[in-house]
Structure 1
């Protein structure tokens, strides 16, 4: 990881903003939250970048800001793929890391699921309600990653 690392959050629907800010504070890192005008987010500790409303507007702003060694928190597989191509790190809100080894399979899963949804005649259920324990797992995994990266400097 490079000096000056920043953490970028894809804020549209991200349930782990608070946990990311806590982890960043422990390691003295800056956090920037990106959201569009339909998802107003306020933070006492992070910089909030509000972009115009539009399909993937926040994603493109994140890609423009990300440098090698930065960390991006997102549940969007497409964004994660672009982040990896910038030699930055990407984490899912459930605490696992996107890597060159898993991104292709994840994108294929997303494609297949979208195809199934479009061809289905019934309504799909959304995800189960998020439990606080999931946020704590995310926090622990992010802290472990940051600790290892800082130790390697």
Structure 2
């Protein structure tokens, strides 16, 4: 198992590095040139700033049994298709059972935004969100169902 991270806007890098280091799980962080990463544990892959370049690189790296941490439903769907597990920074496991609904909600939100509307509010991250992610990550690295 490796943990592969869509690191462009990942708010839980410190948590996952700590847990991965404790458990000696390799971590690969993928980001574009607009972001700077620095930790002494993970492998960093920096790609150009083109649209979806980090997502494409990440999808190409994935292997069966990897764990992907991403906020992007499309990346999560690709991970599931390759036999990997996927987790978002709020602790939600992406599964075949919830992916269709999540992709549909993304489509509706994009349609609303294209029409000039707003598709919901982004809540500020809390300590409880970090704890939820940590619990889900621990379950994932222990090979347990996260649901």
Task: Supply the distance in 2 between the matched residues of 1:113 and 1:130 (Cα, whole angstroms).
Answer: 20
- Pick closer, same or farther for the CA change 1:69–1:124 going to 2, 3 Å: closer
Task: Supply the distance in 2 between the matched residues of 1:128 and 1:145 (Cα, whole angstroms).
Answer: 25
The answer (yes or no) to whether the contact 2:112–2:119 under 8 Å persists in 1 is: no
Would you say how many aligned residue pairs link Structure 1 and Structure 2? 144
Give, in angstroms, the shift of residue 11 of structure 1: 0.5
- Aligned counterpart in structure 2 of residue 148 of structure 1, from 108, 129, 143: 143
The equivalent residue for 1:136 is 131
The answer (yes or no) to whether the contact 1:35–1:51 under 8 Å persists in 2 is: yes
TM normalised by structure 1 equals 0.88
The equivalent residue for 1:46 is 42
Give, in angstroms, the shift of residue 111 of structure 1: 0.1
Three-state SS of the structure 2 residue aligned to 1:75 is: coil
TM normalised by structure 2 equals 0.91
Give, in angstroms, the shift of residue 110 of structure 1: 0.2
The equivalent residue for 1:88 is 84
The answer (yes or no) to whether the contact 2:112–2:118 under 8 Å persists in 1 is: no
Give, in angstroms, the shift of residue 108 of structure 1: 0.3
Give, in angstroms, the shift of residue 123 of structure 1: 5.7
The equivalent residue for 1:116 is 112
Task: Supply the distance in 1 between the matched residues of 2:72 and 2:22 (Cα, whole angstroms).
Answer: 26
Moved over 2 A (4+): 122-126
Where does the alignment leave 5 or more consecutive residues of structure 1 unmatched?
none
The equivalent residue for 2:75 is 79
- RMSD of aligned alpha carbons: 1.5
The answer (yes or no) to whether the contact 1:77–1:107 under 8 Å persists in 2 is: yes
Task: Supply the distance in 2 between the matched residues of 1:138 and 1:42 (Cα, whole angstroms).
Answer: 21
